[in-house]
Chains A and B, each alone.
Chain A
Amino acid sequence: MNVPTLAELTAKGEIPEILFWVGCAGSYDDRYKRVTKAFVKILNAVGVKFAVLGTEETCTGDPARRAGNEFLFQMQAMNNIQVLNGYGIKKIVTACPHCFNTLKNEYPELGGTYEVIHHATFLQQLINEGRIKVAGGGPFKGKKITYHDSCYLGRANTIYEAPRAVLEALDADLVEMKHCRATGLCCGAGGAQMFKDAEKGKKEINLERAEEALQTGAGTIAVACPFCMTMLTDGVKAKEKEDEVRVKDLAELIAEAQGLT
């Protein structure tokens, strides 16, 4: 696995095609680190010239802003923008819909304008360009997969089809949950809910969503967001279905289908 940092490339006088924005979950969360690595392996295999910020990357500020701490958000944003602009970054790809939304929609007002792409869209582009080929459908051919729309990708940015196109490239049998696309049901983690316990209620949101996912009878629940990953994995565990049903990120599914694991 080759993971060049932007500092290294710049020292060599090279410019990457894309900056891969890893995000906090992708950097620290044990489960999502596997997704980060899967995505890097795909980039390596396909020959996309990329770089990461490494220790120069910091939280985009998304959870702070949504919890109401605008000061902290803007501190983070300004610092990140200084670093990104310092390197002359033009194009960013990230696997986190929250980073994606913030970088794409909220940084421009603060002086950071980039072309920002979520990895679902990026993978779809690689498939369309023929740079990723899933020969003979791979291990997921005909298998039932259901896709959980991340609110920050779907409703927030109207990206509904790219992740589904990626799954279709696997020749999988895509089944939809009761709530999908524009009416997709939240996993319960957005708006900084990831970082505190839920308010009192009848039920946890992730449990409700996991039940919907399990009702489809799919053996794989595909996600495209680190928070959705955590919430749905917990939900499936709470239903004691973790042996039959797996929660996987799009990048992991593609990497697996390519034999990159």
Chain B
Amino acid sequence: MRKRLLLPLCSLLAAPAFAAGLQVGVEIPRLEVAEYHRPYVAIWLEKPDQQHVADLAVWYDLKMKDKEGEKWLKDLRQWWRRSGRGLELPVDGVSGATRAVGTHSLSFAGDSAQLKDLPAGEYSLVVEAAREVGGRELLRVPFAWPPRQAEQHQAQGKSELGAVTLQLTP
């Protein structure tokens, strides 16, 4: 019922201002290890010179008492240096709980806080994962913004991450 009402609204709003968007897919692989913990994951946008532009998400243990889970955020080494250490955590709309094995997707509309003021140019989507008593992996997916046509980019992890996909919608 609600949905029906919303759909026409959305199509009305889908004027040029609400044009582009991006969708990120992050696969957390199943690992055969004696002691498995869900990985901490940070997802952000940066310029080609690795300058941090915007945080899309950081998944960490939010449930521990006294924010104890934040103790290991430094293990997301690059994200911590580029962004995390300067933040007051948790960050609304960015902080989230750790995710289970499987593929998780995130959508950002062109008018979302992260994208609405993004100047045209070259960027990379960065996904960094670090697992307690496990390893760390970082993947970069370069792309141009805003997209001229629907595009799909992908990177493949080897250890802590599976496939990372980036879908751009003009």
A interacts with B? no
Chain A positions within 8 Å of B, measured between CB atoms, are none
Chain B positions within 8 Å of A, measured between CB atoms, are none
